[in-house]
Structure 1
Amino acid sequence: MNAPDAKASPGQAITPDQIKRWGPTWSRRVGWLLAHGLWNTRVIGGEHVPRTGRLLIAANHTGIIDGPLLHGVIPRESHIIIKEEMFSGVIGFLMRNAGQIPVDRRNGRAALQTALAMLNEDRLVGVFPEGSRGRGDVKATKAGIAWLAVRSGAPVLPAAILGTRPSGKKPGHIPHPRERLTVVFGEPFAAVDPEAGIGRAAVSEAMGRIQTRLSDHVHGSAAEYGIPLPDSTEI
């Protein structure tokens, strides 16, 4: 149960009791309407997403709408880790009640502990391992998702988000109504051997494996469906 008066705001560390477990029930439907009503989103590989059990989804990140789009097309409820700057004003009110997880990108420990609690409840947590919007080519990833995979034992499923920022557009670009977008889900994989333990070596191994698998999936999907990644990382 959530504490009825619990609130999270920018600069205030999130805790598991502040996450609205019921939030994704309604917010996923809003995301679905955005994906399929406002935009024309093609979803490929949705059958690869297990309908129950703990799961980490790792997605590339190029555009401002990637979070709500991913939340809407995942075929089950999800809690996505999103920068805490989004958790202010009216948008922040909606984000908190949507059950999403704010992260302070200077020190993400509280968000990771909260995400781990969600995984330990056999929930789905979405992460953008690159840490910020860019080309979405996954040349590097942050350690947070690897730490979560090692500590929770959750499989990792790669997702390629394509078309949300065409070449020449800035990361704040919002696609036009009915613009064609594509999300491709890969197959889940184990980020690390369970026998590797939970230390730094295991996290490092998991981080390398996640970076490689997600990068290969994104580039392969972009090539297969003819949707190039942006040619600029300009913010």
Structure 2
Amino acid sequence: MIRKLLARAFWRFSKWKLDTLPAPKRPSVFIGAPHTSNWDFILMLALVWEMGIDVRWLGKKEIFKGPFGLLFKALGGIPVDRKNPGHLVEDLIAQVKQGEMFGLVIAPDGTRSGNTHWKSGFYRIAQEANLPVCMAYIDRDTLTTGLGPSIDLSGDSKADMDKIREFYADKSGFYPERKVTPRLRHEGKELETPED
């Protein structure tokens, strides 16, 4: 209830507005894109709290150190060692298969400073755990954020990414110049590692 009230207050006084489809009715992998600013985190919390969605999210391990570490974990954060991701994807898939049902928010851009491609972990998790991918967005041009459509992955990564590219084509992100076009490094080929 407190989270919902905080979210309502945010949307009432913020210049940003919700423009969203209804929340998925089953656990999903939520793409958070374009990810270009720390403000994306605040918008994500306000969105999921307003909609009553229980989510976990991935963040670099460094932000979980110090006084904010416990807070970020309480807010659903899962620390990730970007230099040594190990079995992160496999561990998350195992949690879902063991019945831990939650929405997983992933920013596949991988960094706020921009990359040349998206990381493939979101795709592998959704495919192997048989979860739909819900496209959440931030658009600076319209000052809107929300949930877009969900898709069930076909296993044809190029065809699936074409749908994702089409949705995000007109979404600018908080800092439009940092936007990364949705593409996987080995798109159309077998996805092998979480770093792809």
- Consecutive unaligned residues of structure 1, counting only runs of 5 or more, are 1-24, 167-179, 194-204
Q: 1:57 aligns with which of 27, 30, 39?
A: 30
Taking structure 2 as the reference length, what is the TM-score of the superposition?
0.72
Distance 1:45 1:66, change over 3 A: same
In the alignment, the residues of structure 2 paired with residue 31 and residue 161 of structure 1 have an alpha-carbon distance, to the nearest angstrom, of 20
Q: Contact conserved, 1:34 with 1:72, CA < 8 A, in 2?
A: no
Larger relative contact order, structure 1 or 2 (CA cutoff 8 Å, min sep 6): 2
Residue 192 of structure 1: how far off its partner (Å): 2.5
SS in 2 for 1:188: strand
Tell me whether 1:104 sits opposite 2:72 in the alignment: no
Distance 1:216 1:114, change over 3 A: same
SS in 2 for 1:86: helix
Matching residue's letter, 1:128 = A
SS in 2 for 1:106: coil
Of the two, which has the highest radius of gyration?
1
Query: Residues 61-108 of structure 1: CA distance to partner in whole angstroms, max 9, x if unpaired?
Result: 011121232132022111111111211112212011222111111232
Paired positions, count: 173
Distance 1:59 1:218, change over 3 A: same
Q: Contact conserved, 1:116 with 1:151, CA < 8 A, in 2?
A: yes
Distance 1:230 1:221, change over 3 A: closer
SS in 1 for 2:145: strand
Q: Contact conserved, 1:160 with 1:217, CA < 8 A, in 2?
A: no
Distance 1:229 1:65, change over 3 A: closer
Instruction: Name the counterpart of 2:177.
Output: 231
Residue 187 of structure 1: how far off its partner (Å): 0.8
Q: Work out the percentage of aligned pairs sharing the same amino acid.
A: 20
Please report the RMSD computed on the Cα atoms of aligned residues, expressed in angstroms. Answer: 3.1
Distance 1:101 1:130, change over 3 A: same
Tell me whether 1:147 sits opposite 2:120 in the alignment: no
Q: Contact conserved, 2:28 with 2:131, CA < 8 A, in 1?
A: yes
Q: 1:70 aligns with which of 33, 38, 44?
A: 44
